[in-house]
Amino acid sequence: MFSFPARTQAGCRRSFPSHLRHTIPTHPLVAFLVLILQPLVAEPASRPNIVVIMADDMGYECLSANGSESYSTPNIDRIAAGGMRFEHAYSQPICTPTRVQIMTGIYNQRNYVKFGLLEPNQKTFAHFLRKAGYKTCIAGKWQLLGGIKGPDHFGFDEFCLWQLTRRPSRYPNPGLEINGKEVDFTKGEYGPDIASDFLCNYMEKQATSDGPFLVWYPMILPHWPFEPTPASPDYDPKAKGVMKGTGDPKYFKDMVEYTDRIVGKIDAKLGELGIRENTLLIFTGDNGTATQVTSRWNGRSVQGGKGNTTDFGHHVPMVASWPGTIKPGQVTKELVDFSDVLPTLVETAGSKLPDDHKIDGRSFLGLLTGDEKYEPRKSIYCWYARNGGPTGKEFARNQRFKLYRTGEIFDISKDDLEKHNLAGKPDAVPAETLAMLKSVLDEMQDTRVMLPDPSRKVKPSGNEKPAAKKKNAKKKDASPD
């Protein structure tokens, strides 16, 4: 475990508009004038608030708008109908690789170290939006190390998180970290209720103050342990929370539907505050559904594929709503991957990345707003290794075909479980498509960067023998979160 040093002059940082921070004058009179003129240089009201909600382990097949026959998600469906629903949005196959990619806009082979860690030198969308004058908040699940200072280090002003400094119950009677303090709940509270209420209170506070806000809500739901929700008949307010095992998924339906209820609560709160039309709301999922779960979807039974590179591992729901800006009733077949979220948020905020900050993603704001100049992606790329290391599973794909580094190629439109390798069958794959996907892989060849792991103890130089591996080390590292 490592932690970050406390930030200095936090109060000063909050007192100045972010775009003036690097130009705060030293002469007392000039500094005074800057302070009194501050309202005149406030951020334009047209810059929207941004709320990004990401469910945990809720694959594409879980949304009724996407064809789910097992779950009912009326709130997310309604939000989708009021804006844009994506049929081809792709995450990474599991939690931390996705979090690193969505928060940094960079493909995993360039900055992924290991499971449960966001490398401390990385810049997140919260950094860039904070710099652009946004207030920033995170609630939900952390799992990125960094200690109690981690959220601030990665750009968040306020937080209400599970698994920041410890790993207690996440559902009934949870243990959370809230704005710098560990808080243990004991009166039957439900973790996802606390996190979402925190966000609603935060949005209410910000709605009456100057400047737009960013809310990043990597939800706790509907990840295992599969436990009753407060809407389940057998919710036990005295339960301590399940800590071991993956559990029977019999409550997964309740958990998905509670996820939908919470998304509806956030959406309703924005409406109640009168800021819905000035808020871009995105809902998505971090990876496929847990493998213990089988769902009915578009007339067939499908097993969750979390951790796999098939569609059931990384094809996720995504909807975006911004009334008055995104036309309602749109369903897009354009490709989006999670490296695209950061540049989209930065452009939405009216800001730009520094020229020397290279990312892999590209903004899809133009897709959302119907900009004629928007150029759709022809492909997306994935480098995936759950536990890091020098090599990962790699592929490039478009909506239909997926080409792996191994040369295997599949027609996902007919074969989403990837059972029929089409390599060497020239009639099965258009030559142009094969060449395009191959060029993406060629471009990414040997681009792995092995960043040091800051959580490893630094050993003194010399001829010491490496520490013997603990017997249960591998098992411990294989946390299914």
Q: Where does this chain bind Ca ion (CB under 5 A)?
A: 56-57, 95, 286-287
Helix axes 341-348, 95-104, angle to 10 degrees: 30
| Run of H or E residues at 232 | none
Nearer CB in complex with Ca ion: 220/368: 220
What minimum distance in Å lies between the beta carbon of 226 and Ca ion? Answer: 14
**Where does residue 72 rank: exposed (0-12), middle (13-18), buried (19+ CB within 10 A)?**
middle
Nearest residue to Ca ion by CB is 95
Helix (H, G, I), strand (E, B) or coil at 446: coil
**From CA 408, how far away is CA 425, in angstroms rounded?**
11
The encoded tokens of residue 41 equal 């240089």
Task: State in angstroms the smallest separation of the CB of 115 from Ca ion.
Answer: 11
Smaller CB separation from Ca ion, 58 or 396 = 58
Shortest reach from residue 138's CB to Ca ion, in Å:
16
3-state SS class at 389: coil
Which residue number, 56 or 119, has a Cβ lying nearer to Ca ion?
56
Strands (DSSP E) contained in 408-481 are 409-411
The DSSP bridge partners found for residue 410 are 402
Q: How many whole angstroms separate alpha carbon 340 and alpha carbon 101? A: 9
Asked if 258 contacts 229 with a C-beta cutoff of 8 angstroms, the reply is yes
Question: Do residues 57 and 245 lie in contact, with contact meaning Cβ atoms separated by under 8 Å?
Answer: no
For Ca ion, the closer of residues 57 and 152 by Cβ is: 57
Smallest separation (angstroms) from Ca ion to the CB of 95: 4
In the bound state with Ca ion, the residue whose beta carbon lies nearer, of 140 and 175, is 140
DSSP 80-116: HHTSEEEEEEE--SSHHHHHHHHHH---HHHH--STT
Cα–Cα distance for residue pair 302/13, rounded to 1 Å: 50
> Minimal distance in Å, beta carbon 55 to Ca ion?
8
| SS3 per-residue string spanning 182-244 | EEECCCCCEHHHHHHHHHHHHHHHHHCCCCCEEEEEECCCCCCCCCCCCCCCCCCCCCCCCCC
Instruction: Provide, rounded to whole angstroms, the least separation between the CB of residue 223 and Ca ion.
Output: 6
- Residue closer to Ca ion by CB (options 289, 339) is 289
Per the listing, tokens 């007192």 go with 15
Identify the DSSP state of 48: P
In this structure, the strands spanning 158-162 and 135-141 are parallel
